[in-house]
Each structure stands twice: as structure tokens, then as C-alpha cells.
Amino acid sequence: MVSDIKQAPESPAGESGTDNPAATSDARHTGAGHPVPEHTDAHALNLPWLIERTRIWTRRALILALRVSRLVVTGLRHFRPGIRYLWRALLRRWRRSLEFRTVSMTLLLSIASFAVVGAYLSNQIANNLFQERLKQAESESRYYVKQVQDTFDGSQANDQSSVITLVYDTLKAVEGNGSVIQRRYVFEAMPEQTKPRNRWVESRASDQLTVRVIPPALRKAVQESGKDQYWASTEFPVGDQDHPGIAVGNKVTFNGTVYELYLLYDLDTAQQTLDEIQNVLWAGGAALVLMIGGIAWYVTRNVVSPVSHAAVVSEKLAAGQLQERMVVKGEDEVARLGASFNHMAASLQEQITQLATLSQMQQRFVSDVSHELRTPLTTVRMAAEVLYDARDDFDPINKRSAELLYNQVERFQSLLSDLLEISRFDAGAAVLDAEPTDIFQVVSHVIDGASPVAAEYGSEVRLTSRHKRIIVEMDARRIDRILRNLLLNAVEHGEGKPVHVSVAANHDAVAVSVRDFGIGMTAAEAARVFDRFWRADPARARTTGGSGLGLSIAAEDTKLHNGWLQAWGHKGSGSNFRLTLPLKKGGTIGKSPLQLEPADIRLPGAAPERQMLVLDAGEGAPEQDSATQDSVMPAPSEGTTSPARNLAEDDDAGTRGGATP
């Protein structure tokens, strides 16, 4: 065969290469007459084609690998956002759904409980099965070891054949099927014996087992003991699998040689029984968890559904759908809750309807009265103006009467205008006419208008800002009215002390604060200062305004701009009113550029130079530094003009108005 294999490749080469020259000459030429190299064969002829095909398949493999890598990268790129989205959805569901939270907690607690109980039961069953098999193995091992030792002690064999036959038959009788578990043996002569060893029998084992399947600790214990019996858990091969078992070791002697006899009991049947029991436990536990989850969902749904329905009905009632009611079924606690809820909703609907009707009547009354009073008031005002203009021709008593009549008619006219404005707010007829406007123009106009009153009270109005120009989408007429009310109130209650007007802006809002150092007000008064017709001291004499509606109208104008109008006060330290507006129409305000409570609430002293009132510039506004220049705006006296109109040109350092005296 070897000569044939070796010779098989040589025969064709010899025929074509040396013995047949004609064939050689034919192979050296093609049909077209082109010469072919002498060593060219079929593989050499196909080499360019193979190279081209290899290049094409390599390119296709690279393209495929690139596409697969892109898909993997894309999947990984979207995997984490997907997991994050799922986690956030679960958290949102956990926070908002009592039903989901209850069922989830029930399932988690049930799974934990069944896991603990299942692990405990599985461990107990496994331990009991093992202990039962161990007792049986120890009992059988004592019996069979005694039987082997008795057979060896009573043996008369003295030749090799009879000794080998005796040992084989004796151990074969030990091997076999036990009552429950299978049994195998390993028979090994103890090493390093001082007595002469049996030269015919060294070791025997079942099913080609070796002494290596015996744990070393067990062998050591058996070798160092006398006639004691030891056991250990082990694994030994059975066919192509490893089975768990128990190895029981003893000593036996034969013809003066000491042997280690190990009986191995197969526990594979017990392991299969344990696996089946565990599978039944886990399957039953999973089924029970699902059943408990279904029961929890059903019970929770029956309890939570009326509560969810009540929440939906409450939201509709809050939205103005006063006719909404809960569906009541049965006579249990939930049904009584639904009936009580419906009764409460009916009572609220009746009261709200009555209040709405009364409010509409009051609004209509105020509106009608205001409109009806306009014509006679115009007539009275014209007559009062005629009398007021001719007062110099009257005697002192009539002259004073004409002046009082003229002033009170003016006050009545102001009150009537405020009532008409309030009626428009109540009727929802107020419209915001917003246009981009520089807020400093409005502030300057307000300061100019309040200058005569400030001069009368002896107060200085000071404007402080770090900006030269702030464009705001606002209704200039309404903002002018708001700031005029704030400034006149500050002057009136400032007791002749300076009034600070501060302007600041950030990325989404602008704020104007009016700070006085007068009598101030408490926190309770600051909370009610925007109520209609409310006055901190009703007995206090007033010389400006007097309708009690100015701050209320200012608050309504601020709401139209989606802004904030807030007040702070402290008895003896003055008060601070802050107006905050969004830069864009319909915008929102995150933080006001100015703080409401001043950092320094002490009264200004008499020192020639005092620290300026510090107000938080907020986000987006630059911090104050020593380069800031302030200009004082004193109240002008008669014959002088207010410098407020020149604010845009008098500051090269980028600040507007305002140092303290």
C-alpha cells in the first residue's frame, strides 16, 4: 500500500513528461500558435482568474463587514437612549399610577418571598435526600466490607491464579445494584507497607475506574486510621458523563497485605429527583406569582378606579365643568364616597353659580353706574372749572368753596376713570397693545410727571441702572400707569427721604424696583396692598390719588403682560415694589433680575457719602464695580426743568441715574 501510494503520482508525470515527447510538444503550443512556457499547467492558466475572484470576494467581505459594523454602532448608539427612555417611562408610571405601584410591589414582594421559601425548601429536600442516601451507603458499606474481610480471612488460595480469581469474584459480588443506589468499588494496595506485599494483586476497580476518583483527603483519612470507616462526596465518570456520588473507604487485609477498599454509590437518581422537585417548585412559584399579580391587579383596579374617576371629575370641576358627577354603584365605602363627592359638587355648583351671578350683577352695576355718571360728571366738572377760573372775584369763603369743589370733582373724575378701568378688567375687555419700546423712555416720563409731587414732599428721585437701553415688548401706556402709581405711593409715604428707582435685565426679563425709606409696612400689609379699596391706615390723610384702586389696576396690568408685581416692606425701614416683565410678549420669567428684599434696609444716615442700595443684578446683568457712575435726580423747583430727559446722554460709563446722597 505504501509503495502504491508513493508510486501513484509518478506514473502520469512519467508518461507526459519523459516517455511521450509528442505529448510534450503538443502541450507547449496552443491552438492559436502562441508559445506557452515549459512549466505551465492548468493551475497556472487559471491564476489570474483566481486572483480577480479573490479580490472581488475580499471587497464584498469588507463591504459586508463595514455594513455590519455600522449596524452594530447604530444599535449601540440607540440602545442606551432606549434604555434611558424606558427607565424614565417606568419611573413616571411609578410616580403617577397607584395601581401600577401596588401591583409592582406585590409582584416584587411575592417573587422575593417565593425565592426565599423555594431556596429553603430546596435546600431541606436536598439535605434530607443526601442524608438518607448517606445512611444507606454507610450501612451497606459496613456489611459488604465485613463480608469481603471474612472471605479473605477464610481463603486457602496460595497460587496466582486462585488468588486473582478469589479477589475478582469477591469484589464482583460487592459490585452491583443496591436496594436504591448503584454501587462500584476501587480496590488499591496501601503504599509504603513494611510487610511483604501480595505480588499478584495490586489494584482492581469497576468500569475502568482509577484511584484518582477518590478524594485525597478521604484516602489520607483511611490510610491513617485503623478499622474506622470514612466517607466523602465525589464525582466519578459513568459513560461520557460525571455523576455525583458518595465514596466510603475502609481497610481490608489479604495474605498480609493491607488494601484500601472504596465503595462508590451513584447519586444520579437522587439528583434527578431533586432537579424534578426544584423544577416543580419554581414552576409552581412562577404560576403563583402570576396568579397573585392578577389578583392584586383585579383588586387594586376595583379600588383605584373610583379614585381615578374622582380625580378626573375633580379636574373637570376645577376647569369649570360644574355639571360633572361621579358614577355611584353599590352601597360600600367607595359608593358612599362617590355620593358624598357628588353632594359636595352640587353644593359647590350652587354656591359658585350664586357667587358668579352676584359678581356679574356687581360688575354690571359698577359698569353701568360708571358710564351713567360720566355725562353729569362732565357737566359738573365744566361748571367747577368755570367757578374755579373766576374764584378771584369771589369773597374768601366762596373762593375756598370753589377750590374745594374743583379738587373734589378732579378726585371724583379720577375715581370714575379707575372704576371704568376695573370694569373693563372684570368684563375681560382689556386688550394688551404691546410694541417694542425702550423701558427707559417710560421710566423717564414717569419721573418727569412725578417731579412736582416729589418737590412738594422734598424727596429726591434717583434712577440706577447698568444699561443704557432695554427694549421690551410691552404696552407703554399700562406700564407708565403702573410705574406712576408705584412712584407716587413711594413719594407720598417716603416722608421726604430719597426714592430709588432701579432697572436691570437678564436674558429673559426686565425688572424695575421703586424703593422708599418711609414709614414702611408689615408683611401682612404687603400681602394685601394690591387689594381693591384697601388702605393700611384708613384715617390717614391723603393728598394724591385717593381712589384705592391704583395698585389693584397696576396688578391687573401686570397680569396682562404675564409679569410679576411684588411688594416688600418693613416698619420704619420703608418699602420696595418690584415690577418684573418678560422681554418678549407671551414670554415666561424664570428669575427676576432684581431681588425683592433689599440687602440694606437701614435708614440712610447723614454722612456726605453713603453706600448705594445694593440690589441683586440677577442673571445676565454685569456685576457692579467701582467704575459705575451715578447721577442724582433732585426734584426740580419752580422755574427749573427736570434732568430726567437727558438721562440718555449724561453717562459715559454705561450707567443710568442714581447715586445716594
Gap between the Cα atoms of 454 and 457, Å rounded: 5
Q: Which distant-in-sequence residues (6+ apart) come within 8 Å of 231 by Cβ?
A: 134, 137, 138, 141, 218, 246, 247, 248, 249
pLDDT in tens, 114-169: 899 989 998 999 999 899 999 999 999 999 999 999 998 888 877 888 888 888 88
Predicted pLDDT at 604: 41
Look at residue 416 and tell me whether its pLDDT is greater than 80.
no
Residue 201: the pLDDT is 80
Cα–Cα–Cα angle for 460, 537, 423, rounded to 5 degrees: 90
- 654/243: higher pLDDT: 243
**Mean model confidence pLDDT for the chain:** 77
Contacts of 411 (CB under 8 A, 6+ apart): 546, 547
Q: What are phi and psi of 624, to 5 degrees?
A: -75, 140
Say yes or no to pLDDT of 640 above 60: no
Mean pLDDT, residues 327-338:
83
How, if at all, do strands 499-505 and 509-516 pair? antiparallel
Amino acid 641: pLDDT: 33
Split at pLDDT 50, 70, 90, the class of 538 is low
CA proximity to 438, closest of 463, 464, 471, 466: 471
3-state secondary structure of 464: strand
**What secondary structure, in 3-state letters, does 192-214 show?**
CCCCCCCCCCCEEEHHHCCHHHC
> Which residues does 201 contact at the CB level (< 8 Å), separation at least 6?
163, 164, 167, 189, 254, 257
Mind listing the pLDDT tens digit for each residue in 191-207?
877 666 666 787 888 87
Contacts of 607 (CB under 8 A, 6+ apart): none
> What mean pLDDT comes out for the span 537-557?
66
Model confidence pLDDT, tens digit, residues 367-386: 677 677 777 878 888 888 88
Tell which phi-psi region holds residue 515, choosing left (phi > 0), alpha (psi between -120 and 50) or beta: beta
Predicted confidence (pLDDT) per residue in 91-121, tens digit: 888 888 888 888 999 999 999 998 999 899 9
List the domains of the chain with CATH numbers: 6-274 (3.30.450.20), 430-655 (3.30.565.10)
* pLDDT the model gives residue 6: 31
Residue 47 pLDDT class (50, 70, 90 cuts): confident
Least confident of 260-274, 283-297, 543-557, 578-592: 543-557
With cut-offs at 50, 70 and 90, classify the pLDDT of residue 536. Answer: low
- Return the pLDDT at 502: 92
Give 19 or 394, the one with higher predicted confidence.
Answer: 394
| In the predicted structure, residue 314 carries a pLDDT above the cut 80 | yes
Cα–Cα separations (whole angstroms), residue 299 to 106, 293, 296, 302, 384: 12, 10, 5, 5, 80
257 HSE (CA, 13 A, CB side): 21
Report how far residue 645's alpha carbon sits from residue 293's, in angstroms, rounded to the nearest whole number. 77
Mean pLDDT within 522-541:
71
Could you say which DSSP state residue 122 is in?
A: H
Model confidence pLDDT, tens digit, residues 53-104: 888 898 889 999 988 888 888 877 778 788 888 888 888 888 888 888 889 9
* Residue ranges with strand state E in 528-573: 564-570
Q: What is the structure's pLDDT at 600?
A: 62
The C-alpha atoms of residue 503 and residue 657 are separated, in whole angstroms, by 10
pLDDT confidence band for 229 (50 / 70 / 90): very high
- What are the backbone angles phi and psi of residue 264, rounded to the nearest 5°? -105, 125
Look at residues 488, 359, 478 and name the one whose alpha carbon lies nearest to residue 421: 478
Q: For 176-197, what is the mean pLDDT?
A: 73
pLDDT digits (tens, 9 = 90+) for 599-622: 765 434 333 332 333 333 333 333
Instruction: Please identify which residue in the block is written with the cell numbers 374768601.
Output: 396
User: Rounded to whole angstroms, how far apart are CA atoms 494 and 487?
Assistant: 10
What CA–CA distance (Å, rounded) separates 237 from 210? 10
Question: Other CB atoms closer than 10 Å to residue 554's CB: what's the count?
Answer: 23
Query: CA nearest 174: which of 204, 210, 144, 138?
Result: 144
